[in-house]
Chains A and B, each alone.
Chain A
């Protein structure tokens, strides 16, 4: 078995490539700095802390003020916990290596971490925050796939966004298979329309 997240006795085994660990660490530290600076006009902050009340500016200001510290701390704690989880990663045994790593001729790049159910859900949520942060820095037309990225940095961010989506999909397949099935049913619906 070489899936990203695999149920084990009382928890899960998360299986990452060393490049994925480096990527998550780099994105996590970038988002942490953005959260620390918390500039309201920064596109990532604007997207992570959006409007809360429609049709009542005063109520909107008040609720956003009330939620802000709470959401900020929740996101910071998520990033800290992810860093701690990644630090626990250990080289996989031969049976646990990922299929895409088994053919590598420069050693074992698969790392594994044992997670509780709560930790697995935390990884899912933090990866969503990271995707939102990456997406907030992409031009809308590129994000909507109406335009191919010209710029190398933009192209790279789009690849990162897609790889994080791939990870999220596989985490969900283990954590909530019904939700993933609901999405594939949707594909069928859309093919029909």
Chain B
């Protein structure tokens, strides 16, 4: 047992170090941008449907998009962020992702 552990542990360390160097995934921010077309109620509907957010949260994010021009709607690992961008663009919301700072 001890012997096996001794050989596996350095391997794990090496993989961990490699992942850190190659892809320091700090997460990705999903941003929805303001748009003069989409109805406010529709944007609330989409946030509720895609993220399952309560109405109050969906409404706060919608108002942030409307008043500030953009809102951070989620921070996720890359694949999940891509899935949200795809879903939100499918609903017609102007959505991008960027590395979290």
Contacts and interface: CB of A to CB of B under 8 A. Distances in A.
Q: Are the chains A and B members of one assembly? A: yes
Given A132-B37, A183-B39, A48 B59 contact: no
Interface of A: 48-56, 63, 66-67, 70-71, 74, 124-125, 128-129, 131-132, 135, 140, 143-144, 161, 165, 168-169, 172, 175-176, 178-183, 185-186, 189
A185 B60 CA distance: 11
Interface of B: 31, 36-42, 44-45, 48-49, 55, 58-59, 62-63, 66, 82, 85-86, 89-92, 94-99
25 contacts: A50-B96, A52-B82, A53-B85, A53-B98, A56-B99, A67-B85, A67-B89, A71-B86, A125-B90, A125-B91, A125-B92, A128-B92, A132-B92, A135-B37, A176-B44, A176-B45, A176-B48, A178-B48, A179-B55, A182-B40, A182-B41, A182-B58, A182-B62, A186-B62, A186-B66
Contacts of A52: 82, 85, 89, 95-97
A131 to B, nearest CB: 6
Contacts of A71: 86, 89-90
Of listed B40, B58, B92, residue having the most chain A CB within 10 A: B92
A169 B39 contact: yes
A183 B41 contact: yes
Given A54-B31, A178-B48, A182-B58, A172 B42 contact: yes
A50 B88 CA distance: 11
Nearest to B31: A54
A55 B98 contact: yes
A131 B39 CA distance: 10
A186 B40 contact: yes
Contact of A54 (B40, B55, B98): B98
Contacts of A48: 92
Contact of A182 (B36, B55, B95, B98): B55
